[in-house]
Amino acid sequence: MPESLLPARTFGTLVPAMVTPFTADGEVDYDQAAKLADKLVADGCDGLVVTGTTGETSTLTDEENLGMFRAVLDAVGGRAKVIAGTGTNDTRHSVNLSRRAQELGVDGLLLVTPYYNKPSQAGIHAHFTAIADATELPIMLYDIPGRAGVPIETETIIRLADHPRILALKDAKADFGATTRVLANTDLDVYSGDDGLTLPLMAAGAVGLVSVTAHVATKAFRALVDAAAAGDFATARRIHFELDPVIRAVMTRVQGAVAAKQVLKWQGILSNSVVRLPLVEPEEAEIAIIKADLAEAGMEL
């Protein structure tokens, strides 16, 4: 589909959840982050989530988070939407970080369900509403019960969709029925938060995906999203099948940030695959499985 015919979206349609590159001694490497952001946009991404789950935000300081927002804005601001991952399990902390991100000029916020605390649905609603009321930025909710410990229930999402700044949902719940009800009962832009479910969710009305695997197969995911948006499901299905072993390599063998950094190093895009504890780099047996998956996909490393 020609770019001019694609619907305008607040957050883009192909949105990698960027890794946070580190130096060999574990410090944030802002220069590498800027180069990675530039490459992703050049290869077809129209949005970037900065310091989300894959960005290892839980082990970054606030100043490191803000430094990443600044580096990516400087690199691609105006060419792609820069979406700041500012959600934590502390509402006041999230409000403060969100306000500081807004001051830097980010285009939107990604807010994950408060994790570890296991709040009630009333608490989840109050948490997101407090952050949305405290900023002027558009917000994408991030529903990932496997990490957060609790889901954002469908009824809660529908209520939150009434807020004028809550415009989108990153759906990593893997509950197609629940997502169908959100699509049927709200105007939210829904994004697949599970790379392997992009095609079925777009067939039901999702607008794109927030992806880990798009780091390493950007152009293929761009083609998949564009084909699905155009209703060309024969093409989209073919690409979906071709991407399956790549998605397995990045999403199922080890933690996503760990796998993505390893493959990006093999591709020569990152200089190393350093992650922060408690994450560790893959072991030899895990590397062998990842390489076998990529070989099945015909990817040369």
Q: Name the residues annotated as catalytic.
A: 142, 170
Q: Is 4 helix (H, G, I), strand (E, B) or coil?
A: helix
In the numeric block, which tokens belong to residue 71? 């580096």
In the numeric block, which tokens belong to residue 288? 């062998």
Alpha-carbon distance of 155 to 226, in angstroms, equals 30
Give 219: exposed, middle or buried? Use CB within 10 Å, 0-12, 13-18, 19+.
exposed
Angle at 195 between CA 5 and CA 242, to 5 degrees: 85
The reply to whether omega before 278 is within 30° of 0 (cis) is yes
Instruction: Compute φ and ψ for 90, nearest 5 degrees.
Output: -125, 110
- Spell 165-190 as b/e; 16+ CB within 10 A means b: bbbbbbbbbeeeebbeebbeebebbb
Alpha-carbon distance of 274 to 24, in angstroms, equals 7
Here the contacts of 71-75 (C-beta below 8 Å, separation 24 or greater) are: 71/30, 71/31, 71/33, 71/34, 71/37, 72/18, 72/33, 72/34, 72/37, 72/48, 73/104, 73/105, 73/106, 74/34, 75/33, 75/34, 75/35, 75/37, 75/38
